[in-house]
Amino acid sequence: MPEETFKEVEASLLSVSLTSSVDDLTARIVGEKSFIDEEKLQEIFLSVEGLIPFLEDRSQIEDIASDVTELSEPKDAEIFRNRLIKLLGNNKIFLASKAQELVTETENLFLSGRIVTDIRPIFGINLDEQPIAGMIMHNLHLHYQGSLSGQQEDIYLSLNSTDISLLIDALVRADKKADNLKAMLLKIGMIDLNE
């Protein structure tokens, strides 16, 4: 990456708001500086993110940068090392990495969902007659990533109207809890990374 472009990235890291993932951080910087190659910047940030778990405190940044520089043998080692020190010491990258780690620190990570609703007819003894009754059924399809396997998987759940009401109530309750916690974060001066 040319020095001028790296300086633009540094400037953007100062001005861009905190995010909950390195992917979001990359997208925000590219949104500000459209001439920066998103794929390359994401690759750089993900590489730096991969080193963050090895940081126990800020005093290790220079040692880690030196070790990585020595192992990777870049063309201009001093420039590479100095840039790595700056990126490893950047709070926005560090916090985005930690936030992403917390989000994914669960057995299964929700990716998407869909509900298909249909009517299930109930026939009487005489199948030549029209159905006597029917039931409205909902098929909930959840698409998720299993953290243990790393594979994307699916689960299908059959729900009736009572189940849907229970699910809606649980989601509304979760939304109200989130509103209360957002207000608490704002009151104590913490930034909500979900926004």
At 174-187, the pLDDT tens digits run 999 999 988 998 88
97: in domain: yes
Domain co-membership, 180 together with 121: yes
Give strand pairing partners of 144. 110, 153
- Alpha-carbon dihedral 50, 51, 54, 59, rounded to 10 degrees: -150
For position 156, what pLDDT does the model report? Answer: 95
For position 148, what pLDDT does the model report? Answer: 67
For position 133, what pLDDT does the model report? Answer: 93
41: in domain: yes
Domain co-membership, 127 together with 54: no
pTM, two decimal places:
0.65
Q: Which of 74, 103, 132 is the last residue of a domain?
A: 103
- Residue range of the domain that includes 150: 108-187
Return per-residue pLDDT of the chain as tens, 195 residues.
888 888 988 888 888 888 888 888 888 888 888 788 888 989 888 888 888 888 777 788 888 888 888 888 888 888 998 999 999 988 889 888 888 888 777 788 889 999 999 999 999 999 899 999 999 999 999 998 887 667 898 999 999 989 999 999 999 999 999 999 889 988 898 888 776
Q: Which of 103, 125, 159 is the last residue of a domain?
A: 103
Strands laid side by side in the 133-146 sheet? 108-122, 133-146, 152-159
> Considering only CA atoms, which of 112, 3, 93 is closest in space to residue 51?
93
Domain co-membership, 44 together with 86: yes
For position 121, what pLDDT does the model report? Answer: 93
For position 136, what pLDDT does the model report? Answer: 92
For position 20, what pLDDT does the model report? Answer: 84
Number of domains present in the structure of the chain? 2
Domain co-membership, 85 together with 16: yes
Domain co-membership, 123 together with 95: no
Q: Which of 82, 103, 124 is the last residue of a domain?
A: 103
For position 155, what pLDDT does the model report? Answer: 92
Q: Two tokens at 86?
A: 């700056």
- In three-state form (DSSP H/G/I as H, E/B as E, the rest C), the secondary structure along the chain is CCHHHHHHHHHHHHHCCCCCCHHHHHHHHHHHCCCCCHHHHHHHHHHHHHHHHHCCCHHHHHHHHHHHHHHHCCCCHHHHHHHHHHHHCCHHHHHHHHHHHHHCCCCEEEEEEEEEEEEEEECCCCCCCCCCEEEEEEEEEEEEEECCCCCEEEEEEEECHHHHHHHHHHHHHHHHHHHHHHHHHHHCCCCCCCC
